[in-house]
Amino acid sequence: MTDKKQMRSAARLYAVQALYQMEVSQQTVERVVREFLDFRFGETLETGEEMAEGDANHFRSLVDNAVNWQAKVDQLTDRALVAKWPIDRIDPVLRALFRAAGGELVGMDTPPKVVITEFVDVARAFFPEGKEPKFVNAVLDHMAHEAKPGAF
């Protein structure tokens, strides 16, 4: 994997974390983005493990798009979910993931298959033993076909 690809993958993971943090702590987008850029990217943990360096521009675009396109992304997500499970009833990590991925689908030129693959990998990072990655794949596939119908 190239450094640029790794940095974009890390930016996607950080974007999901940032969106989750914004929701649970009620912090502003500016404050959370600044915290991630200043302290999280490349951070060395107490265990000595070093966090990946992320693509700051891609991270900022993902978070901004998720916030700016949230209403449209949430509608796309709701239509992809079963009627009994609207977006406000799903796990907040998954909600953040769908918003980050949806923001990339709606507001960026990334090919939908790349967005799906990358965010399924993010789901695996958060839910390594669960069924969530398959769920994420199905929901994002539906969202991508609606958001970019001619891209497949």
Q: Which has more pLDDT, 108 or 151?
A: 108
Residue 50 β-bridge partners: 44
Task: For the chain, give the mean pLDDT.
Answer: 90
Q: Is the pLDDT of residue 60 over 70?
A: yes
pTM assigned to the model: 0.90
Per the structure, the count of domains in the chain is 1
CATH no. for residue 105? 1.10.940.10
> Is the distance from CB of 121 to CB of 13 less than 8 angstroms?
no
Q: Tell me, what's the pLDDT at 45?
A: 67
Q: Which residue has the tokens 């929701």?
A: 23
- What's the average model confidence in pLDDT over 49-77? 92
Give dist(CA 149, CA 152) in Å, integer: 7
What pLDDT digit, counting tens, does each position of 116-141 carry?
A: 999 999 999 999 998 999 999 999 99
Both structure tokens of 135: 């769920």
Using CA atoms, how far residue 55 sits from 4, 5, 6, 147, in Å, is 7, 9, 9, 25
pLDDT score of 1 more than 60: no
- Look up the domain containing 78 and give its range: 3-151
